[in-house]
Amino acid sequence: MDHRRRINELVSGIEQMGLEGAIIFSPENIHYLTGAPFVRGSYGKLLFVDRNVGASLIVTDLDYQETSDSVNSAEIVKTDFMEKPLDRLRKIVKGSPKLGFEDGIISTALREKIGEYRLEPLRGLIERMRERKDPDEIALIEKAQSINDRAIKKAVDNMREGMSELEIAAELEYNLRREGGESFAFETIVASGSRGVYPHGMPSTRRPSKGDAVVIDFGAKYGGYCSDMTRTIFFGDPGAEVRNAYEAVREAQEKAIESVRDGVSGREIDAVARGILDRLGLGKFFVHGLGHGVGIDIHEAPVVGPSNENPLAAGNVITIEPGVYLPGKYGIRIEDLLVVEKGGGRDLTRFNRELIVI
Amino acid sequence: MDHRRRINELVSGIEQMGLEGAIIFSPENIHYLTGAPFVRGSYGKLLFVDRNVGASLIVTDLDYQETSDSVNSAEIVKTDFMEKPLDRLRKIVKGSPKLGFEDGIISTALREKIGEYRLEPLRGLIERMRERKDPDEIALIEKAQSINDRAIKKAVDNMREGMSELEIAAELEYNLRREGGESFAFETIVASGSRGVYPHGMPSTRRPSKGDAVVIDFGAKYGGYCSDMTRTIFFGDPGAEVRNAYEAVREAQEKAIESVRDGVSGREIDAVARGILDRLGLGKFFVHGLGHGVGIDIHEAPVVGPSNENPLAAGNVITIEPGVYLPGKYGIRIEDLLVVEKGGGRDLTRFNRELIVI
């Protein structure tokens, strides 16, 4: 990973904004800029970028060893015992430079706490850099998605009627780990039968049977990057109506995938899938946008849905995941992960989308 | 769960602050106040509390079904297709009441977006309510910790020299799921040998052997509440020096656990463990605080460490987790989960802390 290039790009960006530096708290942004390992939701590190001096990564004792073993694009500064990174920052910042901060992430309480600095919002500067993945990043996401591919294949081979949603999740995650997933991209969804209408349904003790549709949505992290995949698998033959709905979702997904290329907006791609489901009378059950960007975060820019009229760009990594949810009956969703390229989209997902009956 | 009581307590709190209502975004706080299911990091719901009218939970189509199946302490308001909860809020708020907001959570960008309201910071009002668990909450945490107890027992029975950290994580998580974990409380840590000095070490392909210490730190979620447990297990006999260090950490943990009761500060309990490790020459390798509160979040108040001079209160749920990390050599940590009670602490952890050699 060329972290120095990213730091340089950030420095150019802040210079264009008339800033002399930036204070970065988000573990995801720090990982992007330095490769520092991170734990979701942990704010133990602080990256200070000075346009003249370079980047300093302030870490506590707790994280010092692991960080210094893995970062070379920033100077590592260790705090004293029980000293907070913000306290150490005060000793590093000279004068009163104008500094950018992550206004989309920093809470108003934390903003107050750093009120002594002359601060300007970065307005998503780093997140915009992250939207267009470089080849190193795409390679990690491709590897993460291949872990999903192998894990779902093995898990499906072990699925049997009588298993609970929790047991199905156990199989998926067990194989995700053994295939190399260094953690999970998000909380695994296994939602069967009428629970399938919960698009974020956590696995329960419910045991699918008698043709139940089982929505499975899971992902790995590899090298800090996420994969994402959904398949809907049937426990018993679901009958003609549900088979037709499945084929409709599949057609919507395939046609949407064919429409992916640089220059097309998220709204236009969403409309392809939505148009097909509308025509087949299922549009009103497609209650979410078609997809989202994926990278260090499982949900990041760009949005693939009615709200995004901006053109996609080569290097975006996006999901295409139409779904229909019939209250009290069933849910069906199919999701692949793609890289946007010049003139087309490259699907990183290999596992097939034929209707599978256990 | 008595969600109505919590809403009423929140209303009392905001009245005392001279506010007429509050806007709540944090999925954890919304879960606490209403029982609504949530996905970590997803801000798709919005809770509006009006001191005169009561609570309204605004959800998108996507979450409507699952939310209305599980919430009865708030009126559920569904947005129109692609309408955002914030847009719907504008139609609900009458006049220009003074409203509290979660300043510790709301980003400065989101704070700007809701700038049309007269807003006052809540200053951790809800998080302080959450510090003292009621019996229903303690029952869920106890159940979550019992899932950990059973999972680690089964996983240890299956551990064999030659397994990788990833395979060990796979065993732990597989059993956590099968014992009823509805998701994971945090990203599982399995860090062996010299990687054990990474207190947040994600599992890798490393295969512990020859007396390596393996730090295992994992937790389940059950009913929305977290468990948390660390054990250090040896792959082969580690020799006298490491055995002594293990017994020192164990003694530090046991004595700290004995010192837990309401009225004692986090700092005092930390000092018990730190004093023992200091005396045994290991204090300088104990580079973090002794513990933290656990509930809907894996890390919440109160802190059990040198920075917290406030007395613990009955109903706090805390970890006690001393550790020593010898750079280039090994890490050892042992962690139990306790409820603070009048005159003592009740350990929710059953799995023993005898030194285990695989």
Contacts of A200 in chain B (CB under 8 A): 37, 39, 42, 62-63, 66
Listed residue (A123, A39, A19, A98) closest to B107, CA to CA = A123
- Top-level class of domain A135-347: alpha beta
Name the residue facing A177 among B62, B173, B198 (closest C-beta): B173
CB atoms within 10 A of CB B142: 19
Cβ-defined contact of B203 to A121 (cutoff 8 Å): no
For CATH 3.90.230.10, list the domain ranges present in chain A: 135-347
**Mean pLDDT value of segment B291-304:** 97
**Residue A181 to residue A222: CA distance in whole angstroms:** 6
Which residues of A fall within a CB distance of 8 Å from B169? Answer: 177
- Inter-chain contact B40–A187, Cβ cutoff 8 Å? yes
- For B30-57, how does the pLDDT look when each residue is reduced to its tens digit (9 = 90+)? 999 999 988 776 778 999 999 999 999 9
Tokens of B25: 């975004």
Identify the DSSP state of A185. Answer: S
Per the omega criterion (within 30 degrees of 0), is the bond before B302 cis? yes
Q: Are B33 and B3 in contact (CB under 8 A)?
A: yes
Average pLDDT (A56-68) is 90
The percent of chain A in helix, strand and coil, each rounded to the nearest 5, is 35, 25, 40
Best of A202, A222, A292 to disrupt the B interface (most B CBs within 10 Å) is A202
Provide the pLDDT confidence category of residue A298 given band limits of 50, 70 and 90.
very high
Look at strands A336-341 and A118-121 and give their pairing: unpaired
- Residue A341 pLDDT exceeds 90: yes
Model pLDDT, residue A1: 84
Chain B residues in contact with A183 (beta carbon < 8 A): 187-188, 202-203
Q: Is B356 helix (H, G, I), strand (E, B) or coil?
A: coil
Residue to test with chain B: of A25, A31, A39, most B Cβ within 10 A: A39
- Beta carbons of B104 and A105 less than 8 Å apart: no
Q: Could you give the angle at the alpha carbon of A268 between the alpha carbons of A262 and A270, nearest 5°?
A: 110
Determine, for residues B166 and A181 on separate chains, whether the beta-carbon distance falls below 8 Å: yes
Q: Is A213 exposed, middle or buried (0-12, 13-18, 19+ CB in 10 A)?
A: buried
Of A158-172, B73-87, B118-132, B155-169, least confident by mean pLDDT is B73-87
Euclidean distance between CA atoms B220 and A251, whole angstroms: 38
- SS3 for B168-217 is HHHHHHHHHHHCCCCEECCCCEEEEHHHHHCCCCCCCCCCCCCCEEEEEE
Stretch(es) of chain B classified as CATH 3.40.350.10: 3-130
Tell me the pTM: 0.95
Mutation site for A-interface testing, chosen from B113, B143, B202 by largest number of A Cβ within 10 Å: B202
The predicted-structure confidence for B305-343, as pLDDT tens digits, reads as follows: 999 999 999 999 999 999 999 999 999 999 999 999 999
φ, ψ at B102 (rounded to 5°): -80, 90
Q: Read off the DSSP letter of residue A123.
A: T
Chain CA centroid to CA B333, Å: 17
At residue A42, does pLDDT exceed 80?
no
What single-letter DSSP state applies at residue A14? H
To probe the interface with B, which of A26, A177, A277 has the most B CB atoms within 10 Å? Answer: A177
Q: How far is B151 from chain A (nearest CA, A)?
A: 12
Distance from CA of B270 to the nearest CA of A (A): 13
CB contact under 8 A, B108 and A108: yes
What's the pLDDT score for residue B58? 97
The residue of chain A nearest to residue B176, with distances taken between CA atoms, is A170
- Find chain A residues with C-beta within 8 A of B186's C-beta: 39-40
Residue of A nearest to B78 (CA): A287
Neighbouring-strand partners of residue A190: A216
What is the model's pLDDT at position B234?
98
Q: What is the pLDDT, as a whole number, of residue B352?
A: 92
Residues 6+ apart with CB under 8 A from B8: none
List Cβ neighbours of B213 (8 Å cut-off, separation of 6 or more): B192, B193, B196, B232, B233, B234, B238, B242, B246, B330, B331, B332
What is the reported pLDDT for A280? 96
Question: What number is the average pLDDT over the span A95-108?
Answer: 96
B48, containing H or E segment: strand B46-50
pLDDT score recorded for residue B200: 77
- Determine the pLDDT at residue A199: 73
Q: Which of A242-251, A276-285, B193-202 has the lowest mean pLDDT?
A: B193-202
Distance to chain A for B182, nearest Cα, Å: 6
Instruction: Identify the helix (H) or strand (E) that includes residue A22.
Output: strand A21-24
Residue A93 has pLDDT above 90, yes or no: yes
Q: What is the DSSP letter of B74?
A: S
CA distance B48 to chain A (A): 19
The letter for the amino acid at B352 is N
- For the beta carbon of residue A354, count every other beta carbon within 10 angstroms: 7
Nearest to A76 by CA among A90, A84, A87, A65: A65
Which of the following CATH numbers is that of domain A3-130: 3.40.350.10, 3.40.50.720, 3.30.465.10, 2.40.50.140?
Answer: 3.40.350.10
Distance CA A122, CA A137 (A): 23
Q: Do A37 and B200 touch (CB under 8 A)?
A: yes
Residue numbers in B near A186 (CB within 8 A): 39-40
> How far is Cα A113 from Cα A84, in angstroms, rounded to an integer?
13
Report chain B's mean pLDDT, rounded to a whole number.
95
CA–CA gap between residue A252 and residue A272 (Å, rounded): 7
**In this model, does residue A192 exceed pLDDT 80?**
yes
Between CA A12 and CA A75 the distance in angstroms is 19
The residue to which tokens 């034929």 are assigned: A354
Two tokens, residue A347: 């699907």
Contact between residue A179 and residue A166 where contact means Cβ atoms under 8 Å apart:
no
Chain B residues with CB under 8 Å of A105 CB are 107
Q: Nearest-CA residue of chain A relative to B105?
A: A107
**Closest-CA distance of chain A to residue B203, Å:** 6
CB contact set of A250 (below 8 Å; sequence gap of 6+): A334, A353, A355
Structure tokens at A312: 């996609």
Determine the pLDDT at residue A82.
Answer: 79
- Give percent of chain A with pLDDT exceeding 70: 100
Q: How much is the pLDDT for A179? A: 97
Look up residue A134 and give its amino acid. Answer: D
A39: nearest CA partner in chain B: B200
- Residue contact A62–B180, C-beta within 8 A: no
Query: Do A320 and A256 contact (CB within 8 A), yes or no?
Result: yes
Among residues A190, A200, A196, which one has the least CA distance to residue A167?
Answer: A190
| Closest-approach residue (CA) in chain A for B169 | A177
The ipTM is 0.94
CA A147 to chain centre: 15
